[in-house]
Amino acid sequence: MRAVVQRVTSASVVVDGQTVGSIGQGYMVLLGVATGDTEADLKYICDKIYNLRIFEDQDGRMNRCLSDVSGEILLISQFTLLGDVRHGRRPGFDGAMRPAEANAMYEAAVRYFKDNYGLEVQRGVFGADMKVQLVNDGPCTLLLDSTKIL
10-residue mean pLDDT series, the chain (150 residues)? 98 98 98 96 97 96 96 96 91 94 98 97 96 96 85
Active site residue 80: yes
- Environment class of 108 (CB within 10 Å of its CB; exposed 0-12, middle 13-18, buried 19+): middle
The DSSP bridge partners found for residue 141 are 6
Every domain of the chain and the residues it spans: 2-145
Q: At the topology level of CATH, where does 2-145 sit?
A: D-tyrosyl-trna(Tyr) Deacylase; Chain: A; (3.50.80)
Question: What's the confidence (pLDDT) of residue 106?
Answer: 98
Nearest to 29 by CA among 98, 99, 127, 124: 124
Active site residue 78: yes
Of 80, 126, 141, 147, which residue is the catalytic one? 80
Of 6, 55, 79, 113, which residue is the catalytic one? 79
Please state the separation of Cα 90 from the chain's center in Å: 24
Question: What's the confidence (pLDDT) of residue 149?
Answer: 58
pTM of the prediction?
Answer: 0.94
Question: What's the confidence (pLDDT) of residue 148?
Answer: 78
